[in-house]
Amino acid sequence: MAKAPSSLAPFSYNWVGGDIRGLSRLAGTLYGFADQAAEPANTLQGTVDRLVSESGDNAWKGSAADNFKMDFGQDIVDVRWMNGRTVAVGDAVDGLAVTLAKIESWLESQAEQGVRAGYVTLDGAGKMTLPKGTSDPRVQRFLQQFNQSREQALIAAKAARKVAAKKLAAEYSTLSNGLMNYKTNHRNLLSKNELAALDSNLRQLRQGFQDANHLLDSTSRPGAHEKALLKDAVMTATTIIGGTAGAVVGTFVEPGGGTIAGAGIGGLIGQGAGSMLGSIFD
Amino acid sequence: MSGYDVVFDDLLKASAEFSRQGEAYANLMPHKPACPAGGDDTIDKMLNVTLQALYEMHTVLAQAVSAHAEKLDYTHRNYRKTEGNLFDYLTKVPPPTY
């Protein structure tokens, strides 16, 4: 049975960016692919075993048969390896969807506080309006806090994307090595046209990866503003975890002990501040 | 001869199975999976290139499986041909002159 994508925290709008549900669906597609690909591999394994190995006197024997078995045995290993890579890419995408959903959900819950207090209204698309204007200091305070939350959420989302991009970069490198292995060590399994296509596609992949990796490297240089916000985010998360933020605590804590701080704004506390946001700002 | 016949049949069956499974495997991912927006250029580009590499690897593996189908078929044909040559040799060789 195929692995299922993780369930997402509830959210209604798209304030932090990205097609969160689309990412989750992609993870499901990749898990499904890996599951389905197991069948051809198992069928072929059975075919090779029946043909070559201990099936009696009538089996195909000799050095050619042994070489064939060894050759195809490697194919089976590679198909299963490929399934592992597919699941790993699915996991990276699934993890991103889960984290972005948590951040989005948290941010929307922040806005909901303003809705409940009557400071703001939200339409179906998530557009915020101010029915009472901004003269009330309580409205001003809410807007200030919400804007800060929003900025923190965007930083957290950016961090989550960077974490996912790094995981994907590692998977890309592994896949690229696999392709190079076929290009150099298994040339006899590919036709001239297939080898030419592989060559061309490898060049395009390399260029595409360089472009993506360059962007990934450049995200390591935050501005002063982002650094200040990060500091605020740490303080916020610390306050929340410490339980001094009163009613806000409830909006962060999820069933099972996970926290938005741990997964989103944080990564900071629950899942290691250093490894997530910290890695952006080092 | 019956032993050879069984091996020949097995080679043919295996070739057909490889061909079927190679095609089935290829059809599992007929094109690169669609790439949803991740929310910024970095993740979009990295996800896109990784999915492209995944698709390319899948294609190459499917081609390798199909190549094995052809190799089995080639082996079958060669064995048949060799057997035919031997049979021809044994039946057409001139009788001894002594």
Average pLDDT over residues A32-57: 79
Using DSSP's 3-state secondary structure scheme, residue A122 falls into strand
Give the domain extent around B54. Answer: 29-82
Give the chain A residue whose CA is nearest to the CA of B5: A58
Q: Is residue B88 part of a domain?
A: no
Using a CB-CB distance cutoff of 8 angstroms, which residues of chain A are in contact with residue B47? Answer: 93, 164-165, 168
Given the cut 0.90, state whether the ipTM is greater than it. Answer: no
Amino acid B87: pLDDT: 65
Q: Is residue B42 part of a domain?
A: yes
Query: Which element (helix H / strand E) includes A128?
Result: strand A128-129
> Is the Cβ pair B64, A59 closer than 8 Å?
no
Q: How confident is the model at residue A217 (pLDDT cuts 50, 70, 90)?
A: confident
A&B contacts, CB < 8 Å: 183
B46, B58, B72 ranked by CB distance to A169: nearest: B46
Q: Is residue B70 part of a domain?
A: yes
Tokens of A92: 């990276």
Q: Is residue B51 part of a domain?
A: yes
Q: Residues A148-165: pLDDT tens digits?
A: 999 999 999 999 999 999
Q: Residues B6-58: pLDDT tens digits?
A: 577 778 888 888 888 889 999 999 999 999 999 999 999 999 999 999 999 99
DSSP-assigned letter for residue A259: B
Q: Which of residues 117-156 of A touch B (CB under 8 A)?
A: none
CA-based nearest distance A17→chain B, Å: 5
**What's the sign of the alpha-carbon dihedral A226, A227, A230, A232?**
negative
| Overall residue count recorded for chain B in this entry | 98
CA-based nearest distance A231→chain B, Å: 23
Q: How many domains does chain B have?
A: 1
Q: Is residue B55 part of a domain?
A: yes
> Is the Cβ pair B43, A161 closer than 8 Å?
yes
* Contact (CB, 8 A) for B3 and A58: yes
Using a CB-CB distance cutoff of 8 angstroms, which residues of chain B are in contact with residue A58? Answer: 3, 6-7, 10
Amino acid B96: pLDDT: 57
A26, A72, A211 ranked by CB distance to B33: nearest: A26
Q: Is residue B58 part of a domain?
A: yes
C-alpha to C-alpha distance for A157 and B14, rounded to whole angstroms: 51
Q: Is residue B46 part of a domain?
A: yes
Residue matched to tokens 């049975």: A1
Q: Is residue B54 part of a domain?
A: yes
What pTM was estimated for this model as a whole? Answer: 0.78
Using a CB-CB distance cutoff of 8 angstroms, which residues of chain B are in contact with residue A43? Answer: 17, 21
